Amino acid sequence: MMACMRVGIIAAILVLAYGELGYARAQYSFGPRPDNGIVVPYEPTPDNVVEGMLKLGAVGPDDYLIDLGSGDGRIVITAAKTFGARGLGVDLNPDLVNRSLANARAAGVSDRATFRQEDIFLTDLSRADIITMFLFPQINLKLRPKLLELKPGTRVVSHFHDMADWRPDASQKIQTTEHYGDTWIFLWYVPAKVEGDWQWMAQRGGVVQRHVLTLRQKFQAVEGSIATESQRPIEIRDAKLQGSHLTFWVPIRDAGRTARWDFQGEANGDAIVGNDSTGSALGRTEEPWRATRVRQ
């Protein structure tokens, strides 16, 4: 008799737990649609983590933010109320979208914080200056190709989950007592596409020569070399690509000494425009630099 009662109680608990979980998964989800095989439960980001995400992303009044899986709207609302930004929150759950709209009205930011029920994979992200999210790793990876097609310099900030081999440009550990204790936030800048050959003409030692910069790229990690008509290729040093901004230097011989030849420029389509500079005993010389992509 007691054994039967225990079995009945356990069965009731399992049914209740499954029912509640099923309700949570059905009612509080903001990932792709359930028929895509992934559903993300609603879990609010702690307020201090929200603030940390927006500070790490350097959100300001000129920014338009899109929050993917916006839940109760707190990231978009905080961006508008505290940082002066404008933004859109996208969530699959209509109840959460309605709650977000009500929260925006209560915070007095309805003119700058809007919300929409939508599958995040169908959302047009092209307007965004910054994108925020707290999703699952597999969803981050599924979104990654779409994020990498955005305009260079677009900021992406993720709570808790990274982007696998697309390493973050910055990360920060935040202490919180909610949910799971200490957590991490990650920042990426969408990198410009700079891989390939770039050429320009420059005068060195009284001779005008064609220079070719060959770049290899994996996300924002860049390496390569510069070749001229008169000498073998020289590997570039300390190359950095943040959004569209590229910097590097190469060692050169100047008056019998080794000197630095520094480059910095903005990559925009088929051109990199900036300046180069070298130092000598007579001081530092800076010149305009414009390299154009070599089309095969």
pLDDT band at residue 232 using 50, 70 and 90 as cut-offs: confident
274, 265 in Cβ contact below 8 A? yes
Pairing of strands 183-189, 234-235: unpaired
Which sequence spans correspond to the domains of the chain?
A: 29-189, 196-293
In Å, how far from its chain's centre is CA 252? 35
243, 130 in Cβ contact below 8 A? no
Residue with tokens 């029912």: 19
Predicted pLDDT at 12: 40
pLDDT, tens digit (0-9, with 9 covering 90-100), for 114-144: 999 999 999 999 999 999 999 999 999 999 9
pLDDT band at residue 88 using 50, 70 and 90 as cut-offs: very high
29-189 fold = Rossmann fold (3.40.50)
Counts for the chain of helices (H) and strands (E), in that order: 5, 16
> Rounded to two decimals, what is the model's pTM?
0.84
Exposure on the CB side of residue 62, measured as CA atoms within 13 A: 1
pLDDT band at residue 39 using 50, 70 and 90 as cut-offs: low
Q: What architecture is the 196-293 domain classified under in CATH?
A: Beta Barrel (2.40)
Predicted pLDDT at 4: 41
pLDDT, tens digit (0-9, with 9 covering 90-100), for 192-215: 999 999 999 987 667 899 999 999
Give the Cα separation of 223 and 235 in Å (integer): 8
Amino acid letter for position 294: V
Predicted pLDDT at 122: 96
Give the Cα separation of 196 and 293 in Å (integer): 7
Give the Cα separation of 132 and 20 in Å (integer): 28
Predicted pLDDT at 37: 52
